[in-house]
Copies of this chain bind each other. A is one copy, B any other.
Amino acid sequence: MSASNVPPSETDALLAAVKFGSDGLVTAVAVDDRDGEVVMLAHMNRESLALTLANGVMTYWSRSRKKLWLKGETSGNTQKVVSARIDCDGDALLFRVLPQGVGAACHEGYKSCFFRERNGAAWEIQGKPLQPPDRM
């Protein structure tokens, strides 16, 4: 991870508006800046949000692995931050990102984690994966 090029005080000021839940997390939604598609929803703790705001690369908190998760660190599918928004009550964040690598946000290889759409009683896969599944 690159060193921060943003003063800590700037990140601190931004974090002051964020309301972390009792689990210490906020929800983060990532949108592909090229076409506006929602590509994933995950969570951030204070440290991962601070790193994301400071470094401009999406860094989540993995709830399953209980550790910082620099998205794409292994697969190369990192996400550069284009802009960051916060919602009215401060507990959700919306990032426009530029996907790197092959651009698969989903560990199952799809561009978006939301690759299944309702059709009647079924969730049907839409489109094809961009790469084989990875291990996150």
Task: Answer yes or no: A130 CB below 8 A from chain B CBs.
Answer: no
If over half of A's interface residues share one DSSP class (helix, strand or loop), that class is named, otherwise mixed; here it is: mixed
List 4 additional A-B contacts (Cβ < 8 Å) besides A85-B123, A85-B126, A94-B114. Answer: A36-B36, A86-B116, A87-B114, A88-B108
Which of A53, A84, A110 has the most B CB atoms < 10 Å from its CB?
A84
Chain A 1-22 per-residue mask, 1 if CB under 8 angstroms from chain B, else 0: 0000000011101100100000
Interface residue range, chain A: 35 or more
Contacts A94-B38, A123-B17 given; does A83 touch B117 at CB 8 Å? yes
Query: How far does the alpha carbon of A27 sit from the alpha carbon of B57 in the complex, in Å?
Result: 23
Q: Is the CB of A84 within 8 A of B117?
A: yes
Closest B-chain residue to A18, C-beta based? B123
